[in-house]
Amino acid sequence: MHLAPLLASLDRAAHASGRPRSELRILDHGGGGGNSSLFLMLLGYRQAQGLNVDEDVHHQPLNAFLRRKWGLSHDVFSTYDGQRMPYADN
């Protein structure tokens, strides 16, 4: 499984920080359709965020579903211009 090393690293980070999986912030840059981000979210990493430069990827229906299903207050997937990421701590 290609995600096994990543999952081991994330579990170590959660343990070292003393925070639960649900509070770790993860950026999946260039994640395309979002499969990895969704997989991480299903495992409890609810702060996973997918970010793409490709404007042809439309995630609004999926974002709306995830907001309803999991009660999220943020969009999981977004796009940007390749220059400035859409986060306050850019």
Global pTM reads 0.79
Q: For residue range 19-56, list pLDDT tens digits in order.
A: 999 999 999 998 888 888 899 999 999 999 999 887 66
Beta bridge mates, 76: none
∠ CA 3-9-59, rounded to 5°:
50
Q: For residue range 55-79, list pLDDT tens digits in order.
A: 666 788 889 999 999 888 888 998 8
23 in Cβ contact with 47 (< 8 Å): yes
